[in-house]
Amino acid sequence: MRFVMIQILSFALIFALLFSLARIIMGFAFLSNNLALSHLGEGFKMLSFGAYSDIRVISAALLPLLLCAFLCLLSPLFSLAFKQGGGL
């Protein structure tokens, strides 16, 4: 089960890196060099707001899978608690 959690986290990291790379390439393709160099603060804002948006999309897509994997990791603890019985 740990492999599944590592796999989900690695997919999230790969998606975030791909989205960031695409954003950087589009920024260089659509902005002139003079404009990009004169407004570095706005470029950084663009990248940070885009990364925030990407993290929200990735978390909405992969968080349920990560939660299920985490609950499956904890399932032996739950089964031990329920095997004690109710004692009727």
- Listed by start position, the domains of the chain span 2-71
Half-sphere exposure of 26 (CA within 13 A, CB side): 9
Segment among 8-17, 22-31, 76-85 with least mean pLDDT: 76-85
Contact between 33 and 84 under an 8 Å Cβ cutoff? The reply is no
Bigger pLDDT: 84 vs 29: 29
pLDDT tens column, 30-81: 878 787 778 888 878 888 888 898 888 888 888 888 788 778 877 777 665 5
CA–CA separation, 55 and 13 (whole Å)? 10
Give the pLDDT mean for 20-31: 86
Give the span between the Cα atoms of 48 and 16, in whole angstroms. Answer: 12
Is pLDDT of 82 > 70? no
Taking 80 as the threshold, does the pLDDT of residue 1 lie above it?
no
